[in-house]
Amino acid sequence: MIYLELLIKFFRIGLFTIGGGYAMLPLMQHEIEANNWITSQEFIDIIAIAEMTPGPIAINAATFIGYRTGGVLGSVAATTAIVLPSLLIVVILSRVLAKYRDHPLVNSMFAGIRPVVAGLILSAAWFIIDAVLIPVQAENGAAPAFDLASMIIAAAAFFLVAKYKFDPIKVIVMAGVVGLVIF
């Protein structure tokens, strides 16, 4: 039964998410929490692993989540299900868009969709920031405790990649070494 659940849930994630892998992460998070498949910390770890491995993050994450919940067949079900809607939509839309790509209604539709994509990606970023940089829950109404070391590593990684155009793989390796030393 878990295989059918994975097929349905990940097909729905793939079908209703526009904007790529990062935009899919909030929907994955919702399904994970609704079904108690894995913990939030495991999801953060899966995102980190999916980011470091070759291939699209959403497909890698779906594969890992499927494996954690249903073994090899679970990973096949989740991966197939998340890819299938995109494949079908691209095949259908490529024919339609080739014919109507300059139509004002099509242009207006995409102008409305673009901000949603940005919002979904920001939502995924906020989830990761909240889980990684503010890991300590506040007690008795106290302010949340911030993980200063993680914040410094995140800021350094951001500036190295965004401002100085460092190779992200080298930044990940350097952060792993720093993590071994600090943590």
pLDDT digits (tens, 9 = 90+) for 127-143: 888 878 876 655 566 66
Computed over every residue of the chain, the mean pLDDT equals 87
pLDDT in the model for residue 159: 95
**Higher pLDDT residue, 27 or 8?**
8
Give CA angle at 87 (112, 91), nearest 5°.
80
Q: What is the mean pLDDT of residues 156-161?
A: 94
The percent of residues above 90 in pLDDT, for the chain, comes to 38
The percent of residues above 70 in pLDDT, for the chain, comes to 93
pLDDT in the model for residue 94: 84
pLDDT tens digits, one per residue of 40-57: 888 888 888 888 888 888
pLDDT tens digits, one per residue of 162-182: 999 999 889 989 998 998 998
CB half-sphere exposure, 35, CA atoms < 13 A: 19
- Give the domain ranges of the chain: 2-133, 142-183
- CA gap 97, 94 in Å, rounded: 5
Cβ 82 vs Cβ 10: under 8 Å: yes
pLDDT in the model for residue 158: 93
pLDDT in the model for residue 136: 61
Token pair recorded at residue 27:
């929907």
Please identify which residue in the block is written with the tokens 């994975």.
6
